[in-house]
Amino acid sequence: MLIIGKVEVEYEITEVPIQGMDCADCTRHVQHALARLPGVESVDVLLGAEKAIIRHETGDLDLAAIRKAVAEAGYAVPAETLPKDSPTQSPGFSRQFLILLGLLFGVVLFAAVIGEGLGLFDALTARLPWPVGLAIVLAIGYPVFRNVFKATLRGQVIAHSLMTLGVLAALVVGEWATAAVVAFFMRVGDYVERFTAERARQAVKDLNRLAPQTARVIRRGEEVVVPIAQVQVGETVVVRPGEIIPVDGEVVAGVATIDQSNITGESMPFEAGPGARVFAATLTSLGSLRVRATQVAANTTFGRVVRLVEEAEANRGEVQRLADRFSAYYLPIVAGIALLTYLISRDPLASVAVLVVACSCSFALATPIAILASVGAGARQGLLIKGGKYLEILAKADVLLIDKTGTLTLGKPRVTDVVTLESLLPANGLPTPEAYLLQLAASAERYSEHPLAEAVRAAASAQGIPLLEPQAFEALPGMGVRARVNGSQVMVGRRNWIVSHPEHSKTGIYSKTEDLQARGKTLLFISSDEQPVGVIAVEDTLREEVPGAIRETQAMGLRQIELLTGDNPRSAAALAGLLGIPYRADLLPEDKIAIVKEYQARGHTVVMVGDGVNDAPALAQADVGIAMGAAGSGIAIEAAHIALLRDDWRLVPQALRIARRTLGVVKMNIGFTGLYNVVGISLAAMGLLPPGLAAAAQSLPDLGILVNSSRLLRQK
C-alpha cells in the first residue's frame, strides 16, 4: 500500500501469459505497451517464463485492456488466460525439425556463396521480371515484414528493422535475388532465436513438469481426486507408493521413503513417518502416507521455487543494464555506419550488408540466457537464487560474515561430558555414577521445555536410562529447575545459582570444569539435597561439512571471513579457533547490522550467511544474504537473496562457483558478440562480405551464446 498525502493507494499483482516472444527485444516492447496502461505502477516481462507480472492499482486493470495492449505490441495473450498456478506452454522444436532446418540452412548458404561468387544472382535477376522477384521476396519474408511494419507504425525499431531496410535497399537497386536470400536468412534467424529462447526457458519447463496436477483428498470419509488448485489447507491428502506428494505438510499416518532431490537437491532418500515434514513435488516409494496440508498450490516450497526461478531474470545486474543501454544506441549507430559506407564507397550492396550483418539480438540475449541457465541449475542442486544481479554481486564478494547457532552449528545442543564427585555412588540399579547423575538431571528436567533440558533427556534416552517421575517441579527463568526426584531435592542450573548456597562452596567440583569452560561448553551444575553432585557439559554440534567448506571458500580467494554470534565469548572463541577465523561475540541483531554496514562503508562487498530468522535484518542489509535451511521457511526466503534448500554448507562455496562462472560466461557472451559484430560490420563495409553471407552470419552469434551459456546447465 502506498500513502500519498491522505490518499491510500492499494496495489495488486496480475500475471499474464504472453505468446510470441523470442528475444529480449520482444520483452521490452511488451513492457512498454503494458506500462502505458492507466493504473499500472510497474511491469516485469519474463522471457523465460513467457509472462508479464503487472503491479497495478487494485481493480484498475482488466484483461481486455491487457490483451489490446499486448496485441498492439505485436504479441498475444492466450484466448484462455491460464491461472497463476498453471505452467505456461510454448511450442517446442523436435530434433528432426532442427536437423532438417540445419540441412536447409547449409544448402541455401552453399548456394548463396556459389551464386555470389559466380554471378549467378545477376543472371537470375536479368531473366525473371522484377515483379516476380518482388513476389518471391514477399512470400519468403512476409511474417518478418509484417512485424516490422506494425512496429514502425507504433514508432518502434526492432531488431529486424535493419534487415528489412537492407532488403528494401537491395530491391531498390534491382538485386531481388540478393533480397530473397536475405529474407530467407531472416526467417532462419527467427527460428534460431526462437530455439535459443526455448532453451533459455528449459529450466522453468523442467520445474513445471514436476508440478503435481491432482491430489487424492479425504472428504466426508472418502478419497476424492481433485485438481491441485482445489486442495485446502488442513485437509488430509493420501499419497500412494510411486506418487508425487501434492502439498507441503505433516505426515499424520504411514511410513514411506521419499526422494526429495527435486526440492533440496539431496540425492539420499528420506524416511518419513508420523510427524515428519514433507514437500510438494517429491516422490514417494516403498510405502504410503497420509499428509495434513500446511501449504498448497503456489504457496508450497516447490511453488515458491518455480516462481522465483521464473522471476529471476527480472532482477538484472549492472552488466545486463549496460547491455540494455547499449542496445538502445546500437541500431542508430549501425544505420549511421551503413550511410557512411554508401557515401564513401557508393556501393549500395555494401551498405545493405552492413545493415544485415548487424541485425542480431545477441547483445540482448547475452545475459538473460546465462542467468536462466544458472538459476535453473542452482535450483536443481538446492540453491534458490532470487535474481541475476545477486549472482553478479556474489561473484565480486570479498567479505563473508557467518552466524553461529543454526548456521555453522545444528542448533541442537548435545551432552558431551558428565563429571561427578567421587563421593557420588551409583543408585537405582544403574551401573555408574555418571548414569545416575544423568538420571537425576533428566528426571528433574523431564517437563522443562528448555533446549538444554531436551539435550539432557536425549542423552539419558540414548543410554537407556529410565526417567523418574519428578514432584514439586519448578522452573526458574535464567536460573534452572528444581524438583523432588526419588525423595531428594534436585537442582539443575547455572553455577551462580548453585554457588549462592553457602554449603556448596566447600566442594571442589568447580576445579574439574575449568577445561570444559575453556573449550566454550555450556555447563549445567547439579545438586541433590543441597549438596553438589556433578556437572553436565552441553554444546551445540558443528555441522560436519563446515570446516571443509570454509577451507574451500578461503581457497577461492574469499579470505575475509568472520564469525558473528550472540553467544558468550568463550563459546565463540572455541568455535572460531577450530575454524581458524576471527569472531565477535555477545552481539544483538542490531550489532550484526552495524558490522555489515561497517564493512560496506569501507568499500567491501558483503555476504551474510544466517538461519533466516533472527538474522533476517542482517541478511537483508548485506549485499547478498544467504539463508540456511530455507525449505518450508517463508521468513528465510523473503529475507535472503539466496536460500539453501537443504542445510548443507557445501552449497555456500558452490554458490560462489556458480556466480563466478555465470559472470564469466556473461562477459564472454558480450565480448564475443561485440567482437563478432565489429568484424562483421568491418568486412561488410569494405565489400568483403556480400549481403547473402551477411544474412547467414547474423544468426551465428545467437547460436554461439546458446552453446556458451548451456555450459552452465551442466554445473555439478
Q: Is 663 exposed, middle or buried (0-12, 13-18, 19+ CB in 10 A)?
A: buried
Cβ neighbours for 88, distance < 8 A, ≥ 6 positions apart: 17, 49, 50, 51, 82
Q: Is 456 exposed, middle or buried (0-12, 13-18, 19+ CB in 10 A)?
A: buried
CA angle at 512 for the pair 511 and 514, rounded to the nearest 5°: 70
H-type alpha helices, 260-300: 261-264
Q: How far apart are CA 502 and CA 284, in angstroms?
A: 61
Say whether 523 sits in a helix, a strand or coil. Answer: strand
Given a contact cutoff of 8 angstroms between Cβ atoms, the answer to whether 662 and 669 are in contact is: no
The secondary structure of 66-100 as a DSSP string is HHHHHHHTT-B--SSPPPTTSPP------HHHHHH
- To 10 degrees, the CA torsion angle through 388, 393, 396, 402? -120
Q: How far apart are CA 685 and CA 355, in angstroms?
A: 10
- H/E element, 251: strand 248-259
b/e 570-590 (16+ beta carbons within 10 angstroms → b): ebbbbbbeebebebbbebeee
Cell 547460436 sits at which residue?
703
HEC profile of 381-392 = HCEEECCHHHHH
Q: How far apart are CA 262 and CA 259, in angstroms?
A: 8
Task: Give Cα separations from 621 to 103, 592, 602 (angstroms).
Answer: 54, 10, 15
Q: How far apart are CA 260 and CA 258, in angstroms?
A: 6
Given a contact cutoff of 8 angstroms between Cβ atoms, the answer to whether 29 and 297 are in contact is: no
Helices (H) and strands (E) in the chain, counts: 27, 25
Given a contact cutoff of 8 angstroms between Cβ atoms, the answer to whether 611 and 619 are in contact is: no
Other beta carbons within 10 angstroms of residue 267's beta carbon come to 8
Given a contact cutoff of 8 angstroms between Cβ atoms, the answer to whether 526 and 419 are in contact is: no
The one catalytic residue in 44, 85, 403, 702 is 403
Name the packing angle between helices 368-381 and 301-311 (round to 10°): 160
b/e 466-490 (16+ beta carbons within 10 angstroms → b): ebbebeebebeeebbbbbbbeebeb
Given a contact cutoff of 8 angstroms between Cβ atoms, the answer to whether 280 and 248 are in contact is: yes
Given a contact cutoff of 8 angstroms between Cβ atoms, the answer to whether 636 and 620 are in contact is: no
Cell 518450508 sits at which residue?
632
| CA proximity to 171, closest of 139, 199, 137, 204 | 137
- Establish whether 403 is a catalytic residue: yes
Catalytic residue numbers read: 403
